[in-house]
Amino acid sequence: MATTKAQITIQSDITTNPITIIKEMTMHKFQSNVGLEETTGLRTKKFAAETAVVIVEQDEFTNDKASKVYIRNTGTSKENFFYVAKHASAAASDTAAVTLGKLYGGDWMLIPYLADVNITVAPSTTDAMTLEFMVFQE
């Protein structure tokens, strides 16, 4: 049985009482204690245009399963970012209904995924940028 774990540590002095949150999650199959057993493998994609690109195709996965998507902007720029969206054509805007957010240099995300929509990204610039991504699935 495969085991895939994710861990996050958040430390902040934003309040008068410092905050420390450390959480770990073991990724399991839907309604099961069995670990996720498949992955797309860690992929990288280089961009040099502001064109939106689908990085996760919904029809490659089974809907309503316990999938997770990891995405990271490998750059260091705090000005250039990737839009991340849950629709095939919406990543290049701030459309609240479909844009999940912006990944600036060094930012990453891990999200649950139902395989009900494509996941699309679009760079904010024509400068060279690289994105790293992977899908964990049943």
- Helix/strand/coil (H, E, C) string of 46-80? EECCCCCEEEECHHHCCCCCCEEEEEEECCCCCCC
- Residue 60 contacts residue 101 (beta carbons within 8 Å): no
CA–CA separation, 33 and 65 (whole Å): 14
pLDDT at residue 12 tops 90: yes
Residue labelled with tokens 């316990």 = 66
60 contact partners, CB below 8 Å, separation of at least 6: 115
CA–CA separation, 77 and 131 (whole Å): 13
CA–CA separation, 3 and 9 (whole Å): 20
pLDDT at residue 58 tops 80: yes
**Residues 72-86, mean pLDDT to the nearest whole number:** 94
CA–CA separation, 17 and 83 (whole Å): 33
Question: What was the pLDDT predicted at 91?
Answer: 53
Question: What was the pLDDT predicted at 73?
Answer: 98
**What's the whole-number average pLDDT of the chain?**
87
29-137 carries CATH number 2.60.120.10: yes
pLDDT at residue 96 tops 80: no
Q: Which tokens sit at 68?
A: 């997770």
The amino acid present at 110, given as its one-letter code, is: L
Question: What was the pLDDT predicted at 94?
Answer: 55
